[in-house]
Amino acid sequence: MNEARLEDSSSFDEQHIVVQKNISYFDLKWRAVKDPAKQNTWNWIAFFFSPFWLAYRKMYKPFFVLALIELLYAVPFYLVDLPAWLDGPFYLIIAIVVGLNGNRWYYKHTLNILKQSKSLSDSHQASYLQTKGGTHIGILVGLNVLVIALFFLLDMGLSYLPSETNIKDVVRLSVDAETLEIFTDDPKWSYVKKDGRSYIVEFTGYDYSEKEDVRIVFNVYLDKYIYEWKEIYINGKKLNKKDAEDYELWIEDNSY
């Protein structure tokens, strides 16, 4: 057994002072491997509640690294069309990484706190370990609210970039768009061009109930994040003003 391992073993019981809550769980997990600083054991809570668990255990560095990765992951969705199903594999990988490494990270985290406490006087060590160790619901809530706020600011900033994806999203994320997609087969949204202050976005699909090809042209105002119906074509024929208004009202009525 090397010197570092001897040091870890001698301080193992001291780590209980840092863990404070659920000591028996970590004691069992860390003793299940030869070197808990290098070998992983599985943590289901860390798997299912990764950011909450990290914040709850005051593991700030991995928490903010995870938050940064998630923020960076979100950026491309504002620039190009990416399938929503990518979220599943991405967050599953995140959960697996934290679930697999969490106990080892926490072991090293507690060792670091103990090491830092050694530089303090005896009178200050107890309060330092009490403050830096254990768990904290307030920190859990506060840090995750902070990350949610950062995601909100990211969304507010990037959603107004004049990318084709953002322009299409103004209309295709609306309740009208949801109804159109429900009532049609093979729905598609296409960016057409910029037209003065607005952008032209086109919807196409096949109305399976009426057996009609549907094409709808929208004006999108990205700076105000609003859209308006411009033209409606059924089987290639443009509807007159009254019929177009009736069709729009029918979609709107079925959207609520």
Q: Could you list the mean pLDDT of each consecutive 10-residue stretch along the chain, which spans 256 residues?
A: 45 85 94 94 98 98 98 97 96 98 97 93 90 96 97 96 97 96 96 96 94 97 97 97 96 86
Q: What distances in angstroms separate CA 56 from CA 51, 84, 128, 247, one per listed residue?
A: 8, 29, 17, 52
Q: At what angle do helices 60-74 and 87-117 cross, to 10 degrees?
A: 160
Instruction: In the chain, count H helices and then E strands.
Output: 12, 5
Q: What distances in angstroms separate CA 51 from CA 107, 112, 144, 211, one per listed residue?
A: 17, 21, 7, 48
17 near 113, Cβ under 8 Å?
no
Instruction: Give pTM, 2 decimals.
Output: 0.87
Sheet with 226-234, edge to edge strand ranges: 184-195, 198-207, 212-221, 226-234, 237-238
Structure tokens at 250: 């029918």
**3-class secondary structure, 154:** helix
Structure tokens at 135: 């768990």
**3-class secondary structure, 237:** strand
Rounded to an integer, what is the distance from CA 208 to the centroid of its chain? 35
Task: Tell me what pLDDT residue 5 has.
Answer: 47
At 19, phi and psi to the nearest 5?
Answer: -65, -50
174 near 198, Cβ under 8 Å?
no
At 58, phi and psi to the nearest 5?
Answer: 60, 35
Task: Tell me what pLDDT residue 3 has.
Answer: 42
205 near 188, Cβ under 8 Å?
yes
Q: What distances in angstroms separate CA 123 from CA 117, 118, 131, 214, 224, one per listed residue?
A: 11, 11, 14, 77, 60
49 near 137, Cβ under 8 Å?
no
Q: Is the torsion defined by CA of 212, 176, 254, 247 positive or negative?
A: negative
DSSP 156-220: HHHTTS--HHHHHHHHHTSHHHHHHHHHEEEEEEEEEEEETTEEEEEEEEEETTTTEEEEEEEEE
d(CA 232, CA 245): 9
